[in-house]
Amino acid sequence: MLVIEHLHKSFPTAQGPLQVLRGVDLTLARGSSLALMGESGSGKSTLLHLVAGLDRADSGRILIDGEPLHGHGESALARWRREGIGLVFQQYNLISSLDVAANLAFQARLAKRHDPQWLAYLAEHLGLAALMDRYPEQLSGGQQQRVAIGRALASRPELLLADEPTGSLDEASSDEVLALLLQLVGEAGSSVLMVTHSPRLAACLQHRCVLHQGQVQGA
Confidence (pTM): 0.92
CA dist 93 and 149 (Å) reads 11
Domain that holds residue 184: 2-217
Q: pLDDT tens digits for the chain (219 residues)?
A: 899 999 999 999 999 999 999 999 999 999 999 999 998 888 999 999 999 999 999 999 999 999 999 887 888 899 999 999 999 987 889 999 999 999 999 999 999 999 999 999 999 999 999 999 999 999 998 899 999 999 999 999 999 999 988 887 888 888 988 999 999 999 999 999 999 988 999 999 999 999 998 999 865
Number of domains in the chain: 1
**Which backbone phi and psi does 217 adopt, to 5 degrees?**
-120, 135
What integer pLDDT is reported at residue 177 of this predicted model?
87
CATH code, domain with 81: 3.40.50.300
Distances 136 to 142, 145, 148, 164, 175 between C-alpha atoms, Å: 11, 10, 10, 19, 22
CA dist 57 and 109 (Å) reads 30
What integer pLDDT is reported at residue 219 of this predicted model?
55
CA dist 158 and 85 (Å) reads 6
CA dist 194 and 149 (Å) reads 13
CA dist 216 and 57 (Å) reads 16
